[in-house]
């Protein structure tokens, strides 16, 4: 029974991910015409009935992480979600990363226990393995209680 639910959830996630194939990266993008990593997370979760804020009310400049390096993590901490470690990640958890200078600037969504979906400025929508490169940059995960049951 639990195995059937897990397979059904994985199938639904894969169906949802098909919508993002070919979507280009766009700074501050919030539509399927172009998304950045935050836009992807907002758009994806909206399909599951989770409505995340679209930023903090201030314009997001391309160098926001230089002028306010804590901005992203402040926003993530305001979400009504449970903090999870790398060892506890499961499908549909939001994951966040420090790409450079130990500043959190990137997010994605776990699609199974070993891979996550995200937007990349160089490769657009992609699925990456949570290993080496990403594991060293991983800074945390969030689980939305609403997604603990089938969606």
Q: What is the pLDDT of residues 6-61, one digit of tens each?
A: 788 889 999 999 999 999 999 999 999 999 999 999 999 999 999 998 877 777 77
Rg of the chain over Cα atoms, rounded to whole angstroms, equals 15
CA distances from 80 to 13, 50, 97, 106, 139 (A): 22, 10, 19, 19, 18
pLDDT band at 151 (very low <50, low <70, confident <90, very high): low
What is the residue range of 72's domain?
A: 2-56+64-148
| Average pLDDT in the chain | 90
Is the pLDDT confidence value at 94 over 70? yes
Model pTM score: 0.91
- Give the lowest-confidence range in 33-42, 49-58, 119-128, 132-141: 49-58
Question: How many domains is the chain built from?
Answer: 1
CATH of residue 134's domain is 3.90.1720.10
Is the pLDDT confidence value at 150 over 60? no
Q: Rounded CA gap, 101 and 104, in Å? A: 9
Answer whether 127's CB lies under 8 Å from 91's CB.
no
Give pLDDT, residue 6: 78
Is the pLDDT confidence value at 2 over 70? no
Is the pLDDT confidence value at 71 over 80? yes
CA distances from 33 to 36, 39, 47, 48 (A): 11, 11, 16, 20
C-alpha atoms less than 13 angstroms from C-alpha of 69 in its C-beta half-sphere: 8
**Interval 77-106 mean pLDDT:** 93
**Interval 123-139 mean pLDDT:** 96
**DSSP 3-state of 83:** strand
Give pLDDT, residue 70: 85
List phi, psi (to 5°) of 124: 65, -145
Q: Rounded CA gap, 34 and 28, in Å? A: 8
């Amino acid at each position: 029974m639990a195995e059937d639910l897990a397979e059904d959830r994985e199938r639904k996630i894969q169906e949802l991910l098909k919508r993002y194939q070919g979507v280009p990266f766009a700074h501050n993008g919030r539509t399927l015409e172009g998304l950045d990593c935050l836009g992807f997370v907002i758009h994806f979760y909206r399909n599951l009935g989770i409505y995340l804020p679209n930023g903090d009310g201030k314009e997001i400049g391309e160098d926001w992480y230089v002028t306010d390096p804590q901005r992203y993590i402040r926003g993530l901490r305001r979400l009504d979600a449970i903090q999870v470690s790398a060892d506890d990640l499961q499908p549909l958890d939001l994951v966040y990363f420090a790409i450079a200078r130990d500043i959190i600037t990137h997010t994605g969504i776990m699609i199974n226990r070993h891979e996550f979906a995200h937007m990349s400025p160089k490769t657009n929508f992609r699925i990456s393995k949570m290993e080496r490169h990403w594991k060293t940059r991983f800074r945390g995960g969030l689980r939305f209680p609403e997604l603990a049951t089938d969606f």
